């Protein structure tokens, strides 16, 4: 580690003035004294308590209703047109729309 005197100026400006009262250090001292810190404590991993639900009751209800509506729309579309791709697209659109709908109307 280098000392401030190795950079051409003393660590304490008072010492420079005591040695030579007419001389002022020409360079400011930009040394930063490291602050000792303790070891960084990692945050413990947040784990779910045993027996706790993966998702909330409201979320489960909204998703189940969305699945029911999407399945119903897909089945009805297939029965009407006998086209699997159209039925899947209709079911997916109905699922997305119903999840947004039930999310907005079921109280938080």
Encode pLDDT of 73-108 as tens digits.
999 999 999 999 999 999 999 999 999 999 999 987
| Residue 87 domain-assigned (yes or no) | yes
| Residue 89 domain-assigned (yes or no) | yes
| Residue 22 domain-assigned (yes or no) | no
- From the list 102, 28, 105, the residue with the least C-alpha distance to 69 is 102
Residue 20 has pLDDT above 80, yes or no: no
Chain mean position to CA 78: 42
Distance CA 27, CA 34 (A): 21
pTM above 0.85, yes or no: no
| Residue 95 domain-assigned (yes or no) | yes
Distance CA 105, CA 103 (A): 6
- Structurally, the chain folds into a number of domains equal to 1
| Residue 70 domain-assigned (yes or no) | yes
Distance CA 74, CA 17 (A): 90
Q: Which residue has the tokens 């040695």?
A: 19
| Residue 40 domain-assigned (yes or no) | no
Domain extent, residue 62, equals: 57-105
- The length of the chain in residues reads 108
């Amino acid at each position: 580690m280098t000392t401030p005197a190795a950079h051409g100026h003393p660590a304490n400006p008072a010492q420079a003035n005591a040695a030579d009262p007419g001389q002022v250090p020409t360079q400011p001292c930009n040394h930063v004294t490291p602050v000792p810190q303790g070891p960084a404590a990692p945050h413990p991993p947040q784990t779910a308590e045993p027996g706790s639900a993966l998702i909330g009751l409201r979320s489960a209800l909204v998703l189940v209703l969305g699945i029911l509506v999407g399945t119903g729309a897909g089945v009805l579309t297939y029965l009407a047109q006998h086209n699997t791709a159209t039925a899947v697209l209709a079911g997916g659109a109905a699922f997305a729309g119903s999840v947004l709908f039930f999310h907005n109307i079921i109280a938080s």
